[in-house]
A and B are shown apart, each in its own frame.
Chain A
Amino acid sequence: MDEIGKARVVETPADLEDLLAAHPDYDVQLESLNQRQLAWRRFKRHRMALLGSTMFLSMVVIGIVGPQILPFDKNAYLPTNQVVNVGRPPMVIPYFHPFGETTQLQYDVFTLVINGIGLSLLISVGATVVATLIGTIVGGLSGYFGGWLDTILMRIVDALLALPLIYLILVFSEFLGGGNWFTVMLIFALLGWLQTARLVRSVILSLREEDYVDAARVAGVSQMRIIFRHLLPNALSPIIVAATLSIAALITAEAFVSFVGYGIDPSTPTLGNILSGAQEAIGAGNWWWAVFPGVAIVFIVLGINFMGDGLQDALDPRAKI
């Protein structure tokens, strides 16, 4: 009698009637979905979002698993009888180089790209997580307390945003003893929170005036609790969307900084470093070296952009189901 059957999701009253007609013995108790379940449903229905997350997640899997199977060793030279000193175009037989070979050292571009995907994703995802935390805290404090704290913090953000990113990166990388991937990740984290801080501040500014915040304040809730329990959870959706898009921006930024030679040590295969090496070989018609790492970047960024759009629609509670 107390047995509860499996929950079923019905969309419309008509669906419910159909279900009851088919199973007259059902005892019905209605329960609506919570916000998270609704968001997940909207996301699942968003075709571009699904496509985007598939693209992105497959790249993540390639980035994690690939280097285990095909590790890159910068000291692994070819046996001398195979060295031809020019890059060879993509081939499968007699040597397995589906993305071709680089010139001079004749590295396999496929191995480079797979390792590059892993490293570039690691840097951009890691930096985004840290940057989002910093940005949320700074933006939250700035928006909630306002006054002189807000003025000073936002002036610093304005000033940092007005400078060319590459200048900041160069100086920071020397300051932190740069060159390896961890330092570059740290630099991106230290510079990537600016936009998030602005965004969180603007959201908090409008949420601060809501009635439920006044109610909490009247009830004697502490300020920290108001910020972290009442305001930030409601600001979560724009933060998640911004963080997703920031991964894409950082992938491109890392690539560019390494490309001009001020990023990670050139012998480390990040996507930018591979492209940097390829630049000189292009004149000789060596297109494969430049094309495949770039395609990987576009694939990741496109996937993230699709995913970000889907998340934006899914996390908006006013959006239709």
Chain B
Amino acid sequence: MRRLLGAIPTLFFISILIYGFVLLSPGGPTARFSMNPKITPQALAAFEHRWGLDQPVPVQYCRWLGVCNPDGQGLGVFLSSSGMPNFLPGIVGGGSNGVLHLDLGVSSSSGVPVSDVIAERFPRTLVLAGVSLVVWLTLALIFGVVSAVKRYSKIDSAITVFNYVAYSFPTFWLGLLLIVIFAATLGWLPAGGMWDVRNTPIFGSGAYWSYLGQHPVSALGDLGRHLILPVATLVAVSVAGDSRFVRASMIDAMRQDFVRTARAKGVPERGVVFRHALRNALLPVVTNIGLELPFLFTGAIATETVFSWPGMGAQFITSIGQYDYPVVMGISVITAVLVVGANLLADIVYAIVDPRISYG
């Protein structure tokens, strides 16, 4: 619980940073319009008034966050139209504007609400990240345990060499390389995208779900074909770091007295490895994975760009190029919340798995 409260100031700092950076950013929030000769200064001023950009900076920030009510006067800005504090959720009489109420503004390039943009993009990133996570954990555990149990054998050195090399690959270059080999040269797999535009509807649309219901095999097969290269890219780099970690932690566990006791009792080697050593070796691994979970989303920026995967990371890069600040801010907020949440989760899971730890 104390941990949970400790995350609030961090998130508060992050929100100030995100907002502050936009103020410093090229051209500010009206950059897109002020360059257009058809937009008169009057229209620009009206726009700024409409979105409260003519207000002092703290008021703007307060509104964006959702603590202040844009319709309020004087000290009444902190109250919603129903008279309750504005930062409370809408159901108990709070306001409806600002980040706290999931109102992230409207995209300045497409006019769509940012929450809709994210709602469309997020599941796609989640598919990529989820599949990668499963493959990543499986491989990291297999590699780590095998090389710890068969320490200094040929297979251990092979895995070690693989780890070092894969760890040194820039994510996006590995992606490029895979495209060169498997898409451009061999032509086995698609070079990018998430679905085959010729016969599959847009992922996430109503048509896609009905297509999935009618032809589950071809729909999932198509998704799978598009997933192979990006997942391989994301997984290769992260497995390398983690299997080294699992190996070290496993070797440490195998040296403990309880492992010797188990062997002396006559427990078969398989039981020693999996039931006695691995369960204890997993403790530090769990924390480490919690700390690395955000990489699935930040690493996805590189992967999604290279493979034109239409997820959040690719949207982020596109929006930066379009000076679409509401979308950039929205994605930053979501990412920051995910990172802080993952760190918190790692702490909590660690306390659950290891009875020796308590946060009082």
Contacts and interface: CB of A to CB of B under 8 A. Distances in A.
Interface of A: 155-156, 158-168, 170-171, 174-175, 248, 252, 255-256, 259-262, 275, 278-279, 282-283, 285, 287, 290-291, 294, 297-298, 301-302, 305-306
Given A164-B335, A282-B180, A262 B320 contact: yes
B165 interface: yes
B164 A159 contact: no
Given A167-B21, A260-B305, A305-B168, A162 B173 contact: no
A261 B332 CA distance: 19
Given A155-B9, A275-B176, A291-B180, 14 more contacts: A162-B10, A162-B340, A163-B335, A166-B320, A167-B328, A170-B320, A252-B170, A275-B173, A279-B306, A282-B179, A282-B180, A283-B191, A294-B177, A297-B170
A146 to B, nearest CB: 16
A113 B294 CA distance: 32
Contact of A290 (B10, B164, B177, B335): B177
Given A156-B13, A294-B173, A298-B165, A164 B185 contact: no
Closest A-B pairs by Cβ, 8 of them: A159-B13, A301-B168, A294-B173, A302-B168, A174-B26, A162-B339, A171-B21, A162-B336
B129 interface: no
A220 to B, nearest CB: 37
Given A162-B340, A171-B21, A283 B26 contact: no
A175 B302 contact: no
Interface range on chain B (Cβ under 8 Å from partner): 35 or more
Interface string B174-199: 00110110001100000100000000
A256 B306 CA distance: 11
15 contacts: A159-B10, A162-B10, A163-B18, A163-B335, A174-B24, A255-B172, A255-B173, A259-B172, A260-B317, A262-B320, A275-B176, A287-B185, A291-B177, A294-B173, A298-B170
Contacts of A248: 168
Nearest to B21: A171
A25 B202 CA distance: 89
A256 B336 CA distance: 21
A167 B170 CA distance: 19
B332 A167 contact: yes
Contacts of B305: 260
A40 B313 CA distance: 45
B177 A164 contact: no
A164 B339 CA distance: 10
Contact of B25 (A158, A174, A260, A283): A174
A164 B180 CA distance: 28
Contacts of B328: 167
Contact of A256 (B14, B17, B172): B172
B229 to A, nearest CB: 13
Contact of B298 (A164, A170, A283): A164
A262 B328 CA distance: 15
A163 B17 contact: yes
B301 A164 contact: yes
Given A155-B10, A260-B305, A294 B25 contact: no
Nearest to B25: A171
Contacts of A160: 17
Interface string B9-43: 11001100110011011100000000000000000
Contacts of A166: 301, 316-317, 320
Contacts of B179: 282
B167 interface: yes
Contacts of B26: 174
B161 to A, nearest CB: 10
Contact of A306 (B18, B164, B169): B164
A294 B184 contact: no
A67 to B, nearest CB: 22
B177 to A, nearest CB: 7
Interface string B101-142: 000000000000000000000000000000000000000000
Contacts of A287: 180, 184-185
B301 to A, nearest CB: 7
A302 B176 contact: no
Given A164-B316, A290-B177, A298 B14 contact: no
Interface in B296-322: 298, 301-302, 305-306, 316-317, 320-321
A145 B278 CA distance: 40
Contact of B24 (A175, A255, A275): A175
A297 B172 CA distance: 12
Interface in B317-360: 317, 320-321, 328, 332, 335-336, 339-340
A256 B299 CA distance: 11
Nearest to B316: A164
A275 B301 CA distance: 17
Contact of B170 (A161, A278, A279, A294): A294
A175 B24 CA distance: 7
Contacts of A297: 170, 173
Nearest to A154: B10
Contacts of A252: 170
A301 B165 CA distance: 9
Contacts of A167: 21, 316, 320, 328, 332
A188 B302 CA distance: 18
Contacts of B184: 282-283, 285, 287
Contacts of A261: 321
